[in-house]
Structure 1
Amino acid sequence: MWHGDRTALVTGGARGIGLEICRQLANGGLRVLVGARSWEAAEEACRAIGSAALPLALDVASAKSVAEAVREAGELTGGIDVLVNNAGVSLDGDLRPPYLDEEILRTTLDTNLTGAWRMAEAVVPGMVEVGYGRVVNVTSSYGSLALMDSGRHPAYRISKTALNALTRMLAAELAGTGVLVNAADPGWTRSGMGGPAAPRGPEEGADTPVWLATLPDGDGTTGGLFAERKPLPW
């Protein structure tokens, strides 16, 4: 058991990497709120996970949905100790810079960046109040400035670069509060987004996010980007 009295909220938790993160957290002794845009999908995921999981209708692209879901989460569990911002979209076709599809960019940023920011705004103050929290932003090496070597998937890349920046800012602002904020790259993983040809299974993809979500008391790891539990350059 990691934290038997802790509650985790995972966005985009009904399938793929998110579902496996929920499963591993529940197996590790946490109560898990499975966030999904469809309550039915969240409920189905909870049936697959077991009694430690609770469904939560949550669309991170809607400020109203975020507020209602976090309020419901508080009523169900008393508070959120762990936030895994896993919900994300990849909508880019073959378009590459300097060409721009403004609608794809707006939609991608609203979920991948602003959605995670909305969640942090709603959840982090409660973590600070109790002096404990873990925030994990599921990102991608595609967002690393140091590793960026092409313009493929430009809106997705830029959204993850911005999410990495949010990770760094949150970690700096929350230093010394007991709230640790990190980013996890799950790697190319078989999922609805990664596709069937990806070399990694969901179990492998979930490992680093789960590790960061369950960092023990006394571990000061914060403000980092990790893949396979090892640091990546920003």
Structure 2
Amino acid sequence: MAPELYDSLEGQVALVTGANRGLGRQIAANLCDLGATVFAATRSVRHDVPDEWEHLLVDVTQEGEISDAADEIFQSAGRLDIVVNNAAIAEFDADIVSESVDAIDRTLATNLRGPMLVCKHTIPLLLQSDGGRVVNLSSGMGALSEAQTGGSPSYRISKTGVNGLTAYLDGEYGEEGLLANSVSPGWVRTEMGGAEADRPIEAGAETPTWLCRFRPGSPAGHFWRDRDVIEW
């Protein structure tokens, strides 16, 4: 399972969704430090990102904004090597009986439909690069190998679906060179994770960044945590 890694991402182009804060911002910063041109997608023009990043307005529930972003990346950079599907929301604690239909719809639209649409519009660009990578931010809460108790059904099911998207991408496009992987960053001290989480943002972003460095022919179609493959 040992991948070959790029030491530098100089000349490569990355798209990171939900890049204005938390894990998305840290992953984008890491990729920029590695030399990549970073397109930082946020859902509001008011969201601040560093000047050295390319700022895109993308609400992942809006297909038109995703399509426009893919067009802008191609027109501006002429290529796309890495997509990090990070944008997500969560409404925790409720069980399926008490969770509102609005919460179900919001969560699935952002966390599952969103990454699917991002892939729909970026896969053609990724396949033009040798070893294009998709890194899907998932969660242990969506792992079928772990107990699905404690509420948060929409969040859990959306992340299970994200893992299904990863498996599909590998099965459909792996032979064409696409490297699609899912990653659980752990319980991270972000706005979503809360102050009691046991991991700093830097630790949560480490494995997603590492997956972005995979060279062509590296492992794909897996679910990772702390650089190790875990069960779906």
Determine if the TM-score, normalized by the shorter chain, exceeds 0.5: yes
Distance 2:216 2:167 in 1: 20
Root mean square deviation, CA, Å = 1.4
Alignment map for 1:111-130 (pairs within 5 Å): 111-130=110-129
Is the 2:179–2:220 Cα contact (8 Å) retained in structure 1? yes
Distance 2:91 2:46 in 1: 24
Distance 1:63 1:150 in 2: 33
Structure of higher RCO (CA pairs closer than 8 Å, 6+ residues apart) = 2
* Match in the other structure for 1:36: 42
* Match in the other structure for 1:231: 229
Q: Secondary structure at the match of 2:83?
A: strand
Stretches of 4+ aligned residues off by more than 4 angstroms: none
Residue 174 of structure 1 deviates from its aligned partner by 0.9
Cα distance change, pair 218–149 in 1 and its aligned pair in 2 (3 A): closer
Is the 1:97–1:151 Cα contact (8 Å) retained in structure 2? no
Deviation per CA, 1:176-209, whole angstroms, max 9, x where unpaired? 2111000011111111111112111111010111
* Match in the other structure for 1:88: 88
Aligned with residue 222 of structure 1, among 212, 220, 223: 220
Distance 2:124 2:131 in 1: 10
Cα distance change, pair 149–34 in 1 and its aligned pair in 2 (3 A): same
* Match in the other structure for 1:11: 17
Distance 2:22 2:145 in 1: 27
Deviation per CA, 1:139-197, whole angstroms, max 9, x where unpaired? 00000011124042111001001111111011111122111000011111111111112
The amino acid of 1:60's aligned partner reads V
Deviation per CA, 1:44-77, whole angstroms, max 9, x where unpaired? 3224xxx3x2111111010111111111122221
Unaligned runs of 5+ in 1: none
**Normalising by the residue count of structure 1, what TM-score does the alignment of the two structures yield?**
0.92
* Match in the other structure for 1:56: 56
Q: Give the paired residue count.
A: 226
Distance 1:196 1:62 in 2: 31
**Normalising by the residue count of structure 2, what TM-score does the alignment of the two structures yield?**
0.93
Distance 1:101 1:121 in 2: 29
